[in-house]
Structure 1
């Protein structure tokens, strides 16, 4: 999470298509010919309805697209590069190197924490599983640093997940995704299913990490209001296709289809709500 250098591309997708294959059903093309780039230090939001392909694309960028398994998408067209590594037709060794460079915050990540491990052990787990550069002291320092970055008290390090609030568990999951100092964070629906206070806390942390520490990130959400809080640039997906890419003003000034028109109406409604809050 170093200072941003906008000329350095972290993600480059050129005509990327992704497919799910099944022995029981016809293959399903979930992502169709997507083109986008994310430079170092950028925060990109990806918005779309359920089934739009946004989470599938996130899996691809996180290096988790594979060649086997019905629940795992495959890159079947185009070229996807993350931090210089081409992700189509890569071997396990290269894939492992890529996943070291991408912090992936899955949907419901807070509920995936190991209930038998402490906060410190949950956060340190990626170090011991995937990166052997750290000694014991280095791992402890990395854990303490990232725990502080997500605004958790160090006094919670020895607590178990069930002893934490939902907001604290979400921060532990975020710390776990960031502990290896990845080149990019990919967060898939990081605020889904949480209350307003937890949502606001997570978004404030992401915004702070981006602005003050140069975090490069892709945040996926079906909620436009979430992305407007943190992402200067937004990609809009529908039916697996990228139908819009840019700042919210350019996307909503002349909407070209019904979904973009709906986003424009949502933006107006959100603006009116914020005005009412300010007046109140």
Structure 2
């Protein structure tokens, strides 16, 4: 872990910074700006590296108030002596998924100890991934985000600088028809799809009315949506439908389909597409976002 951290931040001198390493530059900047704060974060090995980087920066004179570390499924990096030496030198938040064995991996053979605030997360019922997998932590983080701010908030990806401000696009309510085991996931799947649409085009207008894309591929309440689209100045009307069913004889594996229909403001169907993928390598929420990016 220390070799990893040293190689990343404290080995190679930077020509543009008078031959100092990246870690030395960061430490100098923080010492020069005592009101500034740096956040160090990582998953698994990355989390171990974040803790050791904070310890090294503390040794270089950076104050505890400037160092905040958030790790996800990270192993302990030192023994009791290390813990006593650094537990007051920076703030550490440890996010640990239920069932993730990594937090205790080195405790017994090496006597390593964890410290800092432990934050327990629970994997969703529909997530089949090994609890230590990064995709499980990302999935839980997305849920935490929307749980705190609401599934109608534009949060995920909304800060991307590549959003366009082109012609307004009207989006009908996103429909979802999923297995019972995915019912709890549906609001999150809709939320990330809404956010992805907003990230693609900042002028996206979302319908406040009812009606969505039916199983037959028809947009219910089309006339009302067309009127709303015209009022919003949109040239096109989009409708999406998410469907999902469990794959037989596979533990918590689902096939998800994302359907899209595009209408002009006269109600003529201009384009339609349907893409599907199975979960496993990704969680259901992540799979919907993946399908959107493929369209």
TM-score by length of 1: 0.22
Higher RCO, 1 vs 2 (CA within 8 Å, ≥6 residues apart) = 1
In our comparison, the structure showing a higher alpha carbon Rg is: 2
The structure that is helix-richer by fraction is 1
